[in-house]
A = this chain, B = another copy of it.
Amino acid sequence: MVGAHRTDDPAWPGDVLARIEERRQEYVDLLIDYVSRPSVSASGEGVADVAHYIRDRMEAFGLDTRLIPTAGAPMVFGQRTGAGGPTLLLYGHYDVQPADPADGWTSDPFTPVIRDGRVYARGAADNKGQHLAQLLAVEAFLSCHGQLPCDVKVLLEGEEEIGSPRMPEFVAEHGDLLAADLVVVSDGPVDPSGRPMISLGVRGALGFELRATGANTELHSGHWGGVAPDPVWDLVQLLATMKDARGHVTIDGFYDEVQPLTAAEREALERLEIDVPAIKRDLGFDELAEPRERGVAERRVAWPTLTINGLHAGYDGPGLKSVLPREAVAKCDIRLVEAQRADDVFAKVSAHVKRHAPHVTVTRRGSMEPSRTPIDFPYLEPVRRAIVAAQGQEPVLWPGIGGSLPLYVFTKTLGVPTVQVPCGNADQSQHGPDENLTLDWFMAGIRTTAVLLAELGRHTDARPGPESS
């Protein structure tokens, strides 16, 4: 069996694109229904229900689906094979970040609202809206043609926002099921300029928590300040040994494994046009973080970071409370670049804490390795053409982005080139309040995947597909 309409007709797949436009309202309604369902992996709220929900949708769209249990949230797998040609694996995540109306949301995070052409809801952009767009391209193709131009597999996980703890083992154990020629991930924002983008890498992430404890109860600061041990000062002084005011992480050996960019990667970075004044204006600050002379793209692609995501001790109410807190906690994340490894960096963090503040406990909270697909990988051109055809603009090529996704399980474990093609607005407020996805980007995401399927079908015509090799 061969895929639908393998052809060099440049209008192909015009009928599918027309079908997508006809079904716009129906597709938006599906998006609203999907993001109205909480699936917060940090707390577990709704995760299992949403796994079943999206699996049922995928089945209805025409995929053969399986819900595969793990020790955590189930994996949702779907495929439509038999077309031959290159196999495209789509990866996304059906879980979302925590959200609370008290966090500053204009409307309830799980009561989607359309305002000014955007759907506001937790998960609208990260990642429900973006992988739903991919799935709807499959739906549109199948509803037009009853078959696809290339083989498609889909893997949606439910624990990405807590560091994808099941992905490494799952992918390692399901190499045959997931065998593919190209992985495409649609997640995160597009280029800050608003132009479409292709990214070839992500940073890794290592989460950890530092906890300093003092007396067995909160004490009066007048009687016990300067007498009893002070966990807040202990933690502050420890943290201050971990990063300096120049933005340099001062954990011993932290940068040892960092791999410099290749010349081609540096050239690609230089071609990026980043509107730093616009960033400053939009986000309301005057200066970038130190070191000030370093470029924004280089910071995200080439440098690891250490961020304190949360720092909490003692009184947090109105007015004053003259207490000596009983404990202080810092929740931190490190973003890793090639070729840092989470185990190695965590060992360095632990050794640093042991040396500087042996009474402070350090607890690992999940990690993922970085991933980088070489800039000369074989499917860059069909992806680029799909974007141009579907979105009418040349994409910006990033050698990598600052965020983290467990793409290393594809690049490092399976050895499959992996490309990120976000179809979400740059101002999506991902992880923050008022997360949103524009309907224009949602529709562009559907069209982009539809054309990519066609492009990969064409690509097979020019190169031997797996079934004939």
Q: Which residues of B contact A247 (CB under 8 A)?
A: 226
Choose among A103, A322, A366, A403 the residue with the greatest number of B CB atoms under 10 Å from its CB: A322
What residues of B have a CB within 8 angstroms of the CB of A335 in the complex?
221-222, 225-226
Q: How far is the CA of A122 from the CA of B426 in the complex (A)?
A: 51
Residues 208 to 241 of chain A near chain B (Cβ within 8 Å): 214-230, 232-233, 236-237, 239-240
Residues of A that sit less than 8 Å from B by CB? 41-43, 97-98, 103-104, 161-163, 188-189, 203, 205, 207, 214-230, 232-233, 236-237, 239-240, 243-245, 247, 283-285, 287-289, 296, 299-300, 303, 305-325, 328, 331, 333, 335, 365-366, 401-404, 429-433
8 Å CB contact of A300 from B223, B288, B323, B404: B223
| Contact status B309-A320, CB under 8 Å | yes
Q: Which residues of B contact A221 (CB under 8 A)?
A: 305, 307, 309, 333, 335, 431
User: Which residues does chain B contribute within 8 Å of A223, judged by CB atoms?
Assistant: 188-189, 300, 401-403, 430
**With A320-B333, A404-B222 in contact, is A432–B217 under 8 Å at CB?**
yes
Asked if B219 and A283 sit within 8 Å, CB to CB, the answer is yes
A and B contact pairs by CB, cutoff 8 A, 22 listed: A98-B319, A161-B320, A188-B223, A216-B283, A216-B285, A218-B432, A222-B404, A225-B333, A225-B335, A226-B299, A226-B305, A226-B307, A226-B402, A232-B307, A233-B308, A236-B239, A236-B311, A309-B314, A311-B312, A315-B331, A323-B431, A323-B432
Q: Are B313 and A321 in contact (CB under 8 A)?
A: no
A432 to B314 Cα, complex, angstroms:
11
Is there contact, CB below 8 Å, between A218 and B433?
yes
Q: Across the interface, which residues of B come within 8 angstroms of A219, CB to CB?
A: 283, 431-432
Q: How far is the CB of A239 from chain B (nearest CB, A)?
A: 5
Give the residues in chain B near A323, CB-CB below 8 Å.
309-310, 431-432
Determine if B162 and A320 form an interchain contact, defined as CB atoms under 8 angstroms apart: yes
Q: Which residues of B contact A232 (CB under 8 A)?
A: 307-308, 311
When chains A and B are docked, how far (Å) is the Cα of A161 from the Cα of B404? 47
Query: Which of these, B226, B236, B433, contacts A303 with CB under 8 Å?
Result: B226
- Of A41, A240, A309, A328, chain B has the most CB atoms within 10 Å of the CB of A309
With both chains docked as a complex, state the minimum distance between the C-beta of A291 and any C-beta of chain B, in angstroms: 10
Q: A42-B318, A103-B218, A227-B288 are known; give 4 further A-B pairs, CB within 8 A.
A: A226-B305, A230-B308, A237-B244, A309-B324
Contacts A220-B431, A223-B402 given; indicate if A365 touches B283 (C-beta within 8 A): no
- CB proximity of A364 to chain B, nearest CB, Å: 11
Bound form: Cα–Cα A314–B41 in Å: 18
Q: CA of A219 to CA of B283 in the docked complex: distance in angstroms? A: 9
Contact of A317 among B98, B188, B285 (CB under 8 A): B98
For this chain, the copies found in one complex come to: 2
Cβ–Cβ < 8 Å partners of A306 in chain B: 225
Contact A237–B245 (Cβ < 8 Å): yes
Which residues of B are found within 8 Å of A236, using beta-carbon distances? Answer: 236, 239-240, 308, 311
Closest B residue to A426 by beta carbon equals: B223
A331 vs B324: C-alpha distance when bound (angstroms): 11
Cα–Cα distance between A220 and B401 once the two chains are bound (Å) = 12
Are A220 and B308 in contact (CB-based, < 8 A)? no
Distance from A333 Cβ to chain B, minimum over Cβ atoms (Å): 5
Which residues of B are found within 8 Å of A189, using beta-carbon distances?
A: 223
Closest chain B CB from A21 CB (angstroms) = 31
Chain B residue nearest in CB terms to A237: B245
CA of A217 to CA of B314, assembled, Å? 24
Q: In whole angstroms, what is the CA distance A194 to B447 when docked?
A: 79
| Closest residue of B by beta carbon distance from A230 | B289
User: Out of B217, B310, B328, which one reaches A433, CB within 8 Å?
Assistant: B217
Question: A228: which B residues are within 8 A, CB to CB?
Answer: 283, 285, 288-289
Contacts of A240 in B (CB 8 A): 236-237, 239-240
Tell me which residues across on chain B come within 8 A of A222, comparing CB atoms.
203, 205, 335, 401-404
